[in-house]
């Protein structure tokens, strides 16, 4: 497998999703991409099957917050203080999506541990929640309200949310590595009753954690990127081709 690396840059929500799909379309048999990116302006992304009516689009527009649909599934994420990754990989070997999901998470865990020894307790969730039941609750619209199997957590709290989809002969997976607390403002943009807002805020506080909260320091996003690159190289036993840098 030939792996290419696309290093960190920031784009609008639509540009980011278009870029990932551009890589899906460009990915040939035996190829894979690892891409890192940010969001400018901040953006709320919705899962492919999630209704935009979950979000207060008027308030989002007033606050200069993008809204975009992801090509993958999952639930709403507020992309703010985070490092986002995407993996695009050809499925010519009929790779198991679950196995790949787990291996990507393991690679990121290795990278986090390289970033700081204080992250040695980062681990993967081993239990799959009942998403059908969760979706019927007011927090069902929130990606970070619960942790899926093989997602990354620290001391029982979700640190990274990821989603995956097979598109033709290619697998796309992308996810959000939480750096700061701003993602919790998502509840301010949900179309829910005012009485529910406090409950949802408490739920996010109870179920999520961020790198800056764990380490009690500002995160060097480029150092974090480099640590995760090394985690991927170790986990997948690869060396990245840094010469290929596709742009929008």
Q: Which residues are catalytic?
A: 143
* Closest alpha carbon to 116 in 7, 239, 20, 216: 216
Residue 188's CB is within 10 A of a number of other CB atoms, namely 15
Distances (CA, A) of 130 to 26, 133, 136, 200, 248: 35, 6, 11, 18, 38
Q: Are the CB atoms for 189 and 55 separated by under 8 Å?
A: yes
Q: Are the CB atoms for 158 and 139 separated by under 8 Å?
A: no
- Per-residue tokens: 36: 């890192």
Q: Are strands 2-11 and 31-39 parallel, antiparallel or unpaired?
A: parallel
């Amino acid at each position: 497998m030939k792996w290419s690396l696309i290093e960190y840059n920031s784009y609008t929500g639509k540009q980011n999703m278009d870029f990932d799909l551009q890589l899906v379309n460009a990915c040939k048999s035996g190829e894979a991409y690892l891409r890192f990116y940010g969001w400018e302006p901040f953006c709320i992304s919705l899962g492919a099957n999630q209704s935009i009516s979950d979000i207060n689009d008027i308030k989002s527009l007033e606050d200069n917050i993008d809204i975009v649909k992801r090509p993958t599934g999952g639930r709403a994420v507020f992309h703010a203080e985070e490092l986002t990754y995407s993996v695009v990989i050809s499925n010519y070997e009929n790779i198991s999506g679950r196995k790949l999901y787990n291996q990507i998470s393991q690679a990121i865990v290795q990278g986090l541990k390289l970033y700081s020894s204080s992250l040695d307790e980062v681990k993967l969730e081993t239990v799959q929640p009942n998403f059908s039941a969760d979706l019927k609750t007011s927090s069902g619209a929130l990606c970070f309200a619960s942790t899926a199997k093989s997602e990354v957590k620290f001391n029982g709290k979700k640190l990274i949310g990821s989603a995956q989809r097979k598109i033709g002969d290619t697998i796309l997976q992308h996810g959000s590595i939480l750096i700061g607390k701003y993602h919790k403002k998502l509840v301010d943009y949900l179309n829910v009753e005012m009485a529910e807002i406090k409950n949802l805020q408490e739920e996010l506080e109870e179920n999520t954690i961020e790198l800056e909260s764990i380490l009690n320091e500002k995160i060097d996003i480029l150092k974090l990127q480099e640590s995760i690159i090394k985690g991927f190289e170790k986990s997948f036993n690869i060396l990245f081709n840094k010469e290929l840098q596709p742009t929008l």
